[in-house]
Structure 1
């Protein structure tokens, strides 16, 4: 696990998820919604999340499903 998360970002547990009644999975990063997974992919993800043995595995699954959405070179607003 240490080779995958070299900066130990997943230890901070930045990802959360919510499973809706319809079976979709809503993924949040630091409290902001970033992705909605539907249909077959959602069913596979729910199965993997239920089989995960610890919180680090859950965080890794959520990080992988979201893909490369944050690269570190995003611009901040003028007022920030």
Structure 2
């Protein structure tokens, strides 16, 4: 596991909405100004990281504490 997000894609609907997909499954929809801002940002930033942030699948905050859990100490 590399630690970087992967598996995200997006498609533009006829209405101008942006549908975010994770491994082919719907993960979110952006409409209006958020969709327009996404199209600009996806050209300038890392698209995988951007889509992970927008769908909420990004840095849950428990990464550091999970490594100290008794179940994971042996590794």
TM-score relative to the length of structure 1: 0.61
Which of 50, 53, 57 is the aligned partner of 1:64?
A: 53
Q: Aligned pair count?
A: 59
Residues 4 and 49, structure 2, Cα contact 8 Å, conserved in 1: no
RMSD of equivalent CA atoms? 2.3
C-alpha separation between the residues in 2 aligned to 1:23 and 1:62?
A: 17
The C-alpha deviation readout for 1:2-51, integer Å capped at 9, x for no partner, is xxxx84242xx310100123221100111101111101111101111123
Structure 1 gaps, min length 5: 1-5, 72-80
Following TM superposition, the consecutive aligned residue runs of length 4 or more in structure 1 with deviations greater than 4 angstroms are: none
Larger radius of gyration: 2
